[in-house]
Amino acid sequence: MDGRGLPAKYQTRRIQTKHTVFDRFIPYRPCLNGDASYAKILAHQDGTDAIRQPAQHQDPRSRYYRKLLDAVFKKSDHRILAITQRPLSGYSSPMSPNRSFFNAPMDDLFATPSIRRRRHVPKSPICVMDLPKLRNNFFTNNLDWGKSNKIAVALNLTTYVWDAQSKLCQKIQLTTSRPEHDYISCLAWDPDGTQLVIADNLGDITVCDPECSVINHQTHLKERTTVNIVRWTDHGIYSGDRHGTVYKHDPRVRTAVARLGGHDVMVCGLSQGPGTHYLASGGGDGLVCIWDVRSSKVYRKIKAHTLLAKALAWCPWRKNVLASGGGCDDGNIRLWNINTGNMVGEILTQSQICGMLWSEEYHELVSSHGQTKAEGNETNDLILWEEKDFYFEPVAKLQQHIGRPLHLAMSPDKTHIASVGADEHICLWHCFPASSKEEHSSINVVSPVALDGHIR
């Protein structure tokens, strides 16, 4: 017997029962975001690694990657496991492949993010000049800003060359047998900005030197038709006519070197990729042809728009991306990967795209808009778009023209834009001021763009 007076066989003792460990029970929760909740559960509560390290010893890419994950999974939302709040309409899972985060290249995801600052864009032009008797024709290209800081603009059969630095204006006059019917349809500077190529509605291409005001020679096309667009590249002079043919010219001879073809209807746009051997041509049928200038053959054909692919602009920091703009029946700005032929970005403007330009420093696109789908209406605006991961956000709208801005050109220093409208005015805009680093390096230097005076 023990001390309590009970036999040993009746003595009570504590028995430790063995409990079976079951998995936790998760009830049915229709509002639960499973992907985000699973990632939240696996994450550390304090958001740090298991082994705490000083910030200076941590990998900067890992820190940036964690910041991106926190932004995607909305770490600041403490109700991520709430079951009482209804999900927002149109909400997509953060793991959805349609989100730009998961479509971005890995180098962009892990690189140190650039600091984007808000900037003020002047809504008024710094200079407005008159252009009397300017031809209101969507298929002409009568404006170009050369590397020598000279602006060339054509009015009927006269080409005016205005030096933005000296503010002197020169005049080049073409003579034809029908001065009341003939007109200059397009012009372009050479890569050095010293010589000018001028084409007219008769199919004549003239190369001249504005300094001497002497016409060097003329190139006559076999087809006497209007030349809609001409571009002077490092590989020669390329032109597109109303019959849908792209020509290659040698400025040293009087005849066309090669007839490339490419389109069934008129060619209204040409643009060479900067630093590449590709040339893009846009046709009246909405077709964009990518030419390999080394072989003078079509590299790829893209059905870009329903009608009129005139505005073409190559992305300066992505050599394989081309922007194209459609006519008033299309109203879209689209980005294309020329290597695959796939569309990678799109803006619906519901208006005619007359011209486009890129700013490499600000990663912005400038587009000029004319007629809308509603017959008789015009927007007459210049819109600046900020592009990031092929998504566009409007930055500013420039409203000065009362007629559609037909032509766009950019200054050699990439800071100013010239726009020519059907209202017979040319406006100069200071859209892209130089960065502070460049400004400090150019102290006490007079800007080459001294903008005043008139072109008559």
| Confidence band for 16, pLDDT divided at 50, 70 and 90 | very low
- The DSSP secondary structure of 260-306, one letter per residue, reads EEE-SS-EEEEEEPTTSSEEEEEETTSEEEEEETTTTEEEEEEE--S
Tokens representing residue 218 in the block: 């003329």
The mean per-residue pLDDT over the stretch 130-150 comes to 94
Element (H, E) at 40: helix 34-42
The whole model's pTM is what?
0.70
Average pLDDT over residues 36-50: 54
Query: How far is 98 from 89, CA to CA, in rounded Å?
Result: 17
pLDDT band at residue 124 under the 50/70/90 scheme: very high
Is the pLDDT at 454 greater than 70? The verdict is: no
pLDDT, tens digit, 9 for 90 and up, residues 220-254:
666 778 999 999 998 889 999 999 999 998 887 77
pLDDT tens string 97-121: 333 433 444 344 344 444 455 678 9
Q: What is the pLDDT of residues 375-393, one digit of tens each?
A: 667 889 999 999 988 889 9
pLDDT in the model for residue 440: 36
Q: What is the mean pLDDT of the chain?
A: 78
- Write down all domains in the chain, each with its CATH number in brackets: 127-441 (2.130.10.10)
- Assign 126 a pLDDT band (cuts: 50, 70, 90): very high
Q: What is the mean pLDDT of residues 81-104?
A: 40
Q: How confident is the model at residue 282 (pLDDT cuts 50, 70, 90)?
A: very high
What integer pLDDT is reported at residue 210 of this predicted model?
A: 85
Q: How far apart are CA 132 and CA 455, in angstroms?
A: 9
Residue 352 contacts residue 331 (beta carbons within 8 Å) = yes
